[in-house]
Amino acid sequence: MKDDFAPGDLVLEDFLPYRLSILTNRISQTLAGIYQERFGISIPEWRVMAILGRHSPLSSNLIAERGRMDKAKVSRAVSRLLDAGLITRETDPRDNRLLILKLSTRGKRIYAKIAPLALAWESDLLDGLDDEDKAAIDRILNKLSERVEVMQERDA
Amino acid sequence: MKDDFAPGDLVLEDFLPYRLSILTNRISQTLAGIYQERFGISIPEWRVMAILGRHSPLSSNLIAERGRMDKAKVSRAVSRLLDAGLITRETDPRDNRLLILKLSTRGKRIYAKIAPLALAWESDLLDGLDDEDKAAIDRILNKLSERVEVMQERDA
């Protein structure tokens, strides 16, 4: 790199959005080890299942909004989960233009197998932090979420 | 939710991998406001440009590895950046089976415009934290990265 910019200006390894993204992707990829091979579920598919396991029923758009996921990615994951019989789709009884999604009985059974493994994995990850850092990460993630929300609304 | 699992077991809003993913996606989406409309660059395209702005030349596979990105996503971003003339592709002089990528002159110029905006955006985001939390986030991200690396190697 030379000419018209100094690469030192943006040191990617120190840039918080990049550091968070690398860490998050690495965490998602490693966590996926507990469900990907055994259940044949991809990362976006598990995210959709986890959201539906917590908040159900939801439309595809609400899943995307809640998980801050790309709509096309949610739509692909939803198609595959429907094909695999892990979720069901029906018309919203309150608004028949809307299609709402739920975990199927089989989807609930698989979710119930993955959930405790996911929690054990998280607890293993958090073993890398002492109590002070565990409190700090909780506080900091909340502060950054609030801050980015303010910035998003201001820039909109 | 009922029957064969208790939804309370996995409280998604408290689950660190999910919280990190939501925050990271929100940060990426909001940061994209500084380059998406003005330069017509998508989030994965900017990530590829930022990696090449820091480490260049690289093959597509090395970009994916470095950014912990999905290979198919990198490959789509690379195609669009080539079409837009923002990166160039050539044979690696050390191994003619490898194709290596660099920012083009135009790509460097756009990178040089976005980089200071990205740094100002980050500094605005960090204004939400006091000095103690700024030090803590740095320490905690390093500890979690080391921990997930250990877990990944152990599980591999």
Residue B153, sorted as left (phi over 0), alpha (psi -120 to 50) or beta, turns out to be alpha
State the pLDDT at residue A156.
76
Mutate to test the interface with A, among B3, B4, B24, B71 (most CBs of A within 10 A): B24
CB contact at 8 A, A92 and A56: no
* ipTM for this model: 0.89
Pick from B20, B55, B69, B152 the residue to mutate for testing the A interface (most A CBs within 10 Å): B20
How far is C-alpha B156 from the geometric centre of its chain's CA atoms?
A: 23
Q: What pLDDT is stored for residue B156 in this prediction?
A: 76
Phi, psi of B127 (to 5 degrees): -60, -15
HSE-up (13 A, CA, CB side) for residue B86: 23
The pLDDT of residue B155 is 82
CA distances from A129 to A122, A149, B56 (A): 12, 27, 34
pLDDT band at A118; cut points 50, 70, 90: very high
At A8, list the tokens. 């030192």
Tell me the DSSP string of B120-156: HHHHHHHTTS-HHHHHHHHHHHHHHHHHHHHHHHHH-
Q: In which band, very low, low, confident or very high, does the pLDDT at A155 lie, cut at 50, 70 and 90?
A: confident
Q: Which of residues 45-104 of B touch A (CB under 8 A)?
A: 47, 50-51, 53-56, 67-69, 103
For A:15-34, CB contacts with B below 8 A are 15-31, 33
B3 pLDDT above the threshold of 60 = no
Yes or no, beta carbons of B24 and A19 under 8 Å apart: no
The tens digit of pLDDT for each residue in B88-121 reads: 999 998 888 889 999 999 999 999 999 999 999 9
Structure tokens at B106: 């135009």
The Cα–Cα gap between B144 and A123 comes to 12
Contact of A49 with A107, CB cutoff 8 Å: yes
Q: Report the b/e string of A79-101 with b at 16+ CB within 10 A.
A: ebbeebebbbeeeeeeeeeeebb
Chain A residues in contact with B110 (beta carbon < 8 A): none
Residue A42 backbone phi and psi in degrees, to 5? -85, 170
Give the percent of chain A with pLDDT over 90.
79
Asked if B101 and B57 touch (Cβ cutoff 8 Å), the reply is yes
Q: How far is A97 from chain B (nearest CA, A)?
A: 24
Q: Which residues of A touch B135 (CB under 8 A)?
A: none
Banded model confidence at residue B141, pLDDT cuts 50, 70, 90: very high
Question: If you average pLDDT over residues A53-70, what whole number do you get?
Answer: 92
Predicted local distance difference test score (pLDDT) of residue A4? 47
